[in-house]
Amino acid sequence: MPPTILAATEDVLVIDKPAGLPLDPGRQGGPSLAELLPALAVGRRFPPAPAHRLDRDTAGCLVLARHRRALRSLHQAFAEGRVRKTYWAVLVGTLAEEAGEIALPLAKISSPRAGWRIVPDAAGRPARTRFRVLGRGPGLTWVEFTPETGRTHQLRAHAAAVGHPILGDARYGGGEGPLHLLARHIVLPGGVEATAPLPAHMQAAIRACGGA
């Protein structure tokens, strides 16, 4: 089944990407979004194409361009920071601050045994994430993240760097999955916007933090 469409225009689709679904086929096979895109063509000659990236284990709003001109325009909008993105996450531990900004440059490191990960590095690329607390529960904090930059694994690495990794993030110290990270809301230039529903695997933790 193709993912649920959250918003649609002549140029753009915003879909609700399920957690655990990679955008591209993996080396070991298995389903991917690429295989489902033809079902979203809706009679058009070419299937839509992702205009940005979401991690395999991140659920929520993913923008697809319905033709090449729209893809070029969206790439430029993302690169220039003209797309407003909001994420929900459940963090391990009690975050003391109510709101603030994490401004830590990030760089990629890798090793033969552990693979690659993103870490704070003064020589890395600038990365900024604003946050505000939405609720707290026993050993958990529900936050809204607003990334000001779009680095790989930015939210995951920033959360870990301040001592509160995202729940279920095995790579960055949040315990075994599923990853409690949702691309909750997105606003594109021209006013197209969409909100993703809360996935089933995050509902219990959100309720524990006072959410519905």
Helices (H) and strands (E) in the chain — how many of each? 4, 12
The stretches of 59-169 forming alpha helices (DSSP H) are 68-79, 154-161
**Residue of 16, 55, 57, 169 with catalytic role:** 55
- 102 to 99, 121, 159, 209, 210: CA distances (angstroms): 10, 13, 9, 22, 24
The two tokens of residue 39 are 């079902």
Phi, psi dihedrals of residue 129, rounded to the nearest 5°? -135, 120
Do 157 and 124 meet the contact criterion of CB atoms below 8 Å apart? no
Cα separation, 121 vs 72, whole angstroms: 31
Cα separation, 55 vs 199, whole angstroms: 15
Known catalytic membership, residue 55: yes
Q: Which residues are catalytic?
A: 55
